[in-house]
Amino acid sequence: MSTALHTSALKSLPLLARGKVRDNYAVGDDRILMVASDRISAFDVIMGEPIPGKGELLTTLSLFWFDQLGPKGLAICPIHLTGEAPESVVSADEADLVKGRSMLVQRLKPIPVEAVVRGYLAGSGWKEYQESRSVCGVPLPEGLQNASKLPEPIYTPAAKAEMGEHDENITYEKTVEMVGADIAAQIRDKAIAMYKAAAEIALKKGIIIADTKFEFGLDKNGTVVLMDEVLTPDSSRYWPADQYAVGSNPPSFDKQFLRDWLETAKVNGQPWDKAPPAPRLPREVIEKTAAKYQEALTRLMG
């Protein structure tokens, strides 16, 4: 495994933007090199310490799911991959920095809606259900418990927030206002279809995908294209099927271990207020978080 990378600094391409995990570089005016760092965020705050191997793992899982759901597989939605090797667009001395952790993709016009699909009641969805018997305006039957499987997967979109802000849950009707009826329907239908297909594939490998979010963009022809990362533990709730029980939170293969630790962490002797700076992560938390991500990859891909 390569040395952990908190922040990339390529010299051969201009930097477009840094997200919570990915650093995006311009390749001409029609392509982007997405470099997945080993950064990890929780409560919308980026931690100071990286999780070794995380960027490569997220890239490997995303490529797996692009193959399953895109033109090579079930062809549910066009994808943003160009098929070209990421190392082909950087200088020779930077090739090792991007190999294994990068994707060379089409430059698209992002659709400002996170297409969230929930197959199980968990997290903020469970909290909202207890108050209103609905999630994001979608009514649900009485009698559901924490971690209950929903009768059918539900689409609960969110509006993308600026860096450091929380995404805002919105209704489907609001997405129609934002992007128009045709595109709103396309991203909803494609997201639900991809979730159902992925959940079936994962369950055969012993993983429950409780919920996930997809991101889409428009190409120059106005075609809806699947972009960003897909069905990783950063964008999805992965549960081990053999430890699933209705009524309690199953252990998850994602950053939940980190979140739980942060809930009791202190900065300068005071409980952390979920604002920068983040508490310094001890080695045990880094190693256990890395192991959770690795277990997801191992179960899914062998």
Helices (H), 54-158: 54-69, 95-98, 124-132
Q: Which residue has the tokens 């805002």?
A: 168
Side-chain-facing half-sphere of 256: CA atoms under 13 Å: 15
- Name the pLDDT band for 162 (thresholds 50, 70, 90): low
CB 217 within 8 Å of CB 111: yes
Give CB contacts under 8 A, 24+ apart, made by 277-280. 277/48, 278/42, 278/45, 278/46, 278/47, 278/48, 280/48, 280/49
- Name the pLDDT band for 168 (thresholds 50, 70, 90): confident
Tens-digit pLDDT profile for residues 281-298: 999 999 999 999 999 999
Statement: residue 164 has pLDDT above 60: no
Average pLDDT over residues 85-106: 97
**3-state secondary structure string across 133-159:** CEECCEECCCCCCCCCEEEEEEECCEE
Indicate the residue type of 227: M
Statement: residue 166 has pLDDT above 90: no
The partner residues of 118 in beta bridges, in order of sequence, read: 154, 211
Percent of the chain with pLDDT over 90: 88
So what's the pLDDT on residue 160?
A: 77
- Name the pLDDT band for 217 (thresholds 50, 70, 90): very high
- Strand, coil or helix: what is 38? coil
Tens-digit pLDDT profile for residues 84-94: 999 999 999 99
Evaluated on CA atoms 19, 71, 238, 84, the torsion sign reads: negative
Statement: residue 1 has pLDDT above 60: no
Measured distance CA(42)–CA(20) in Å, rounded: 10
Average pLDDT over residues 219-241: 96
So what's the pLDDT on residue 123?
A: 87
Average pLDDT over residues 202-218: 97
Mean pLDDT of the chain: 94
Q: Which of 300, 262, 255, 302 is nearest to 282 (CA)?
A: 262
